Amino acid sequence: MSRILIIEDEEDINRLLYKIVKKEGYEVTQAYSGTEARLLLNQEMPDLILLDLMLPGMKGEELTTYVRQEKKCSVPIIILSAKTALENKVELLTMGADDYITKPFEPQEVLVRVMAALRRAGMREAATQKESELQEYTYKNLVLNPVSRKITVKGQEITLTPHEYEILLILLKQPEKVFSRDALYELVWNSGYLGEDNTVNVHVSNIRKKIAAADKEEEYIKTVWGIGFKMA
């Protein structure tokens, strides 16, 4: 199910939005200030953002710029704002927002906009995925070809086990994203339970050793302490 981040400092409105989307079965996270939202966005990108403009800490406009320009992420952003603040709609949309909802809003309107934005993003993603399946993944001196499953580092071929290969491919596909050990385990072994199991750590450590044997200078997989792994 899609994950929605609500960024709204007015508690009543935040709670109302939470109820509206939660009822449809979406996974929802709530942030009450711009700075809190930025922290959350830095950890994990949701599938859609409902964003108030007037926020303490960091304004909605700045957050949009942060997502689009610094995180280089195309996640749909729907702006929530009082009508008067929306006089310059064109500016908002060129700044990178996908849509806007004026306050006060009807629950049904919120849902319609959310669903439409997710549908558009889904189609966009499917198109890029198709494209990228035909592509090689390059990271520093490493090249992975998903068709031949061949991996080279500084031109030297390295051999990974199927599970090691899957982990590396997941990380390479979204080099900016931090994957938790649980998420990697779930994606690679198709099973949810990890607990205290060390499997993912062992596999990542093996991948690192194999890469390092071909390239000692560069770091490829980084440990994000307390969270998981990402490309360095």
| Binding residues for Ca ion (CB under 5 A) | 9, 52, 54
Strand-strand pairing, 3-7 and 137-139: unpaired
CB 190 to Ca ion: min, Å: 42
CB 20 to Ca ion: min, Å: 17
Cβ-based nearer residue to Ca ion, 8 or 164? 8
CB 58 to Ca ion: min, Å: 12
Q: Which helix (H) or strand (E) holds 152?
A: strand 150-153
Say how far apart CA 205 and CA 164 lie, in whole Å.
10
Cβ-based nearer residue to Ca ion, 97 or 171? 97
3-state secondary structure at position 16: helix
Sorted by sequence, the CB contacts under 8 Å of residue 29 that are 6+ apart come out as 3, 4, 5, 6, 40, 46
Cβ-based nearer residue to Ca ion, 38 or 203? 38
Cβ-based nearer residue to Ca ion, 52 or 98? 52
CB 81 to Ca ion: min, Å: 8
Query: In the bound complex, which residue of the shown chain has the CB atom lying closest to Ca ion?
Result: 54
> Residue 100 has which token pair?
């806007």
Give the other-Cβ count within 10 Å of 124's Cβ.
12
Cβ-based nearer residue to Ca ion, 9 or 166? 9
CB 134 to Ca ion: min, Å: 45
CB burial class (10 A; 0-12, 13-18, 19+) of residue 60?
buried
